[in-house]
């Protein structure tokens, strides 16, 4: 099997792995930017830490590392267009992405998107280079969440609505 075949096979297999849809945002001396990401997950709750995988060739990669801070905006089902905009599918500049989607400054003065059903703001405490990507570890210092809204997952190369269970609405 060639490298291209192995890569295609791996990507096809990953299309079968459902994942939450997030927009990673940052702001600071190296600029404000954001990118749609599904390679995001929790690491531990003591201290609260998340990991984010970012392609090293992506513009946001160096901006994130140099700013040293990130906000993980977990998107709800209503925010599919927001996910497309920050994925670069709308051909917008970075400033246009934020203008089209609406945001406010969070507790750590990071962009929290209006379409987020949860936001996790924190500092990047470690990073590891693995192949074409970097794995960034974000120690979460502030969490915001809404009690309404269905989830948004990416599966089979498409966005899908994930209904919020009734038991979560009372929490």
Whether 3 maps to a domain, the answer reads no
Whether 129 maps to a domain, the answer reads yes
Whether 8 maps to a domain, the answer reads no
Whether 9 maps to a domain, the answer reads no
Whether 150 maps to a domain, the answer reads yes
Whether 5 maps to a domain, the answer reads no
Per-residue pLDDT, 18: 66
Residue linked to tokens 């209503």: 78
Per-residue pLDDT, 171: 47
Residue 121's Cβ-count burial label (10 Å; 0-12, 13-18, 19+) is buried
Whether 1 maps to a domain, the answer reads no
Provide the total of helices (H) and of strands (E) in the chain, helices listed first. Answer: 5, 12
Contact 88, 167 (CB under 8 A): no
Whether 2 maps to a domain, the answer reads no
85 three-state secondary structure: helix
Q: Domain tally for the chain?
A: 1
Mean pLDDT by 10 residues, the chain (171 residues): 83 71 96 94 96 94 97 94 92 92 93 94 97 96 89 78 69 47
| pTM value surpassing 0.85 | yes
Any idea what the CATH number is for the domain that residue 149 is in? 2.30.110.10
Domain with 88 in it: 20-169
Per-residue pLDDT, 167: 65
Number of Cβ within 10 Å of residue 12's Cβ equals 10
């Amino acid at each position: 099997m060639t490298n291209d075949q192995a890569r295609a096979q791996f990507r096809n297999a990953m299309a079968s792995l459902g994942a939450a849809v997030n927009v990673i945002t940052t702001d600071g001396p190296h600029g404000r930017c954001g990118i749609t990401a599904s390679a995001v997950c929790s690491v531990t709750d003591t201290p609260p830490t998340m990991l984010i995988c970012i392609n090293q060739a992506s513009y946001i990669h160096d901006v994130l590392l140099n700013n040293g801070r990130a906000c993980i905006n977990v998107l709800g089902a209503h925010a599919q267009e927001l996910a497309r905009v920050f994925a670069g599918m709308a051909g917008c500049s970075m400033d246009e992405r934020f203008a089209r989607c609406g945001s406010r400054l969070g507790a750590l003065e990071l962009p929290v998107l209006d379409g987020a059903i949860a936001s996790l703001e924190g500092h990047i405490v470690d990073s590891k280079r693995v192949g074409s990507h970097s794995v960034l570890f974000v120690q979460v210092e502030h969490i915001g969440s809404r009690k309404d809204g269905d989830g948004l997952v990416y599966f089979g190369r498409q966005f899908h609505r994930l209904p919020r269970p009734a038991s979560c609405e009372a929490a």
